[in-house]
Structure 1
Amino acid sequence: MAPRSGNILIVDDEATSAIVRAVRRRLEDEGWSTQVVSKEAHGSADDMLWAAMTAIDDTAPDGVILDVRLGDYRDDQFKGLDLLKRIVAERPRLPVLMFTQYSQGVERDTVARSALQVEAPVEFIDKLASPEEVALRMRRLVGAEPGSIAIGSRILMDSDARTVLVINDDGNTAPVPEVSGRRFDILRELAQAWYRSPGNVVPFDRLERYLEGDDTRASLRVRIREIKVSMGRALGNSLGANDFIVSVRDRGYRLLPPR
């Protein structure tokens, strides 16, 4: 049950650095394939721009990770922004996550102004952010979830098989047959939101669309309680009001992986 595949293009003049290698490992661990446009392979920043646009045309990546700076010369300082403008102009729906190390000063202001001018799926992130944070931000930009989602260390949701599995102490898995049908749909919605960003709240109405009747809010509370009872029994733990699926007042529910 491997994560769904996708392709991320990385454009960075320091492609062999420990930072970029760690990001690539993390993305590949999550099921992405990665392609790199680097200074080592293409030379000047201008050549990197040409190579990046060619790669985008040829491979149609799901997303791009792009460094603001694409060389050692002063003219290369914001060369990544030139590439960003081309991507936005030619591929306005292509998600771009942009590395920057400028936390203050004139350089930071330049990057900030550029960000405000972009009306596309583009976000900026500090290059020193953890590989986990980079992968998380990329997932959110692309809007992709894998076919299976590990919720903590003991729960696995297999969306393709529409099955919830509990991982036992011996490493073997056991299905939770009670969490099926609408209960599975509700839990999958919560798991996907949590996967995109831990702490995400799923609005009531988004969960209620899986239910019918005059009082879908009450029906949702019943289904949530049934899910928690079934999962608690499978895990061997009683799940309280603040465990696993948590109600957020006047907003919806969010997932909290059990410890």
Structure 2
Amino acid sequence: MIRVLVCDDHLIVRQGIKQILADAADIAVAGEAADGPDALAQVRRGGIDVVLLDIAMPQRDGLDVLKALKAEAPRLPVLMLSTYPDRQYAVRSLKLGAAGYLNKSADSEQLIDAIRRVAQGKLFITPGVAELMAEQLVPAGSRSSAPEAPLHERLSHREYQVFRLLAAGRSVGEIAEQLVLSSNTVSTYRARILEKTGVRNDVELALYAVREGL
């Protein structure tokens, strides 16, 4: 029996996943978590074989929780779930140690298959995500015929978090409070983001995010 921890801040989503998994005789929902700290606490108690983890979690976002999980339980497979387009978070999740990445628009059979696959110690990668990974593996000298990687892919995980919040119109103070950072630290991240993306201010950063579909 594959024991699954379902981590999503929306009760209706957790209920939907539980209903889907109820049709799989070899999978059981061993727990539910509505935020990152709760997810970490349940993993520490043991009895979990696979973690289903939403990207957009309160208090600590899914990628922060993923990093913490891989630090504490490196062999525990984590399958990331997201409503965002694959280009935004799929490759980042896999680089941080996720065993797979699945969009919430996937059908129930694909979700069950993904859980079984990662429980066996394998990776679950959709064709779309595989293509994104292949783009990043193209050697620099061979990119004349390949599309250039978007500038935002140069951002670190924390820089990308700050980038998305700035592009959404959040102030430095609001971002500092949400990410539990000092305002000076957020300002430093902002300066790096502007430099790496080649824009001059927050307005241009927001336009860049729209243009890139972020």
Letter in 1 for 2:17: V
Aligned residues: 120
Letter in 2 for 1:65: L
Partner secondary structure for residue 80 of structure 2: strand
In structure 2, list runs of 5 or more residues that go unmatched: 125-214
Runs of 4+ in 1 over 4 A off after TM superposition: none
**1:7 matched to which residue of 2?**
3
Judging changes above 3 Å, is the alpha-carbon distance between structure 1 residues 52 and 116 closer, same or farther for their aligned structure 2 residues?
closer
Judging changes above 3 Å, is the alpha-carbon distance between structure 1 residues 116 and 143 closer, same or farther for their aligned structure 2 residues?
closer
Q: Which of 45, 48, 58 is matched with 1:61 structurally? A: 48
Q: Which of 114, 117, 135 is matched with 2:92 structurally? A: 114
Structure showing greater Rg: 1
Higher helix proportion: 2
**1:37 matched to which residue of 2?**
33
Q: 1:125 aligned to 2:102?
A: yes
Letter in 2 for 1:33: A
Determine the C-alpha separation between the residues in 2 that align with 1:27 and 1:87. Answer: 23
8 Å Cα contact 1:94/1:121 also seen in 2 = no
**2:15 matched to which residue of 1?**
21
Determine the C-alpha separation between the residues in 2 that align with 1:121 and 1:98. Answer: 7
Alpha-carbon shift at residue 70 of structure 1 (Å) = 1.3
Q: Percent identity?
A: 28
Determine the C-alpha separation between the residues in 1 that align with 2:98 and 2:85. Answer: 21
Alpha-carbon shift at residue 25 of structure 1 (Å) = 1.9
Determine the C-alpha separation between the residues in 2 that align with 1:50 and 1:22. Answer: 22
**2:178 matched to which residue of 1?**
none
Question: What does the per-residue CA deviation read over 1:213-236, in whole Å, with 9 as the maximum and x for residues that have no partner?
Answer: xxxxxxxxxxxxxxxxxxxxxxxx
In structure 1, list runs of 5 or more residues that go unmatched: 39-47, 145-195, 197-259
Q: 1:101 aligned to 2:83?
A: yes
Higher strand proportion: 1
Determine the C-alpha separation between the residues in 1 that align with 2:41 and 2:16. Answer: 25
Determine the C-alpha separation between the residues in 1 that align with 2:73 and 2:16. Answer: 27
Question: What does the per-residue CA deviation read over 1:52-92, in whole Å, with 9 as the maximum and x for residues that have no partner?
Answer: 11100113301000000014xxxx6x701100001111111
Judging changes above 3 Å, is the alpha-carbon distance between structure 1 residues 116 and 12 closer, same or farther for their aligned structure 2 residues?
closer
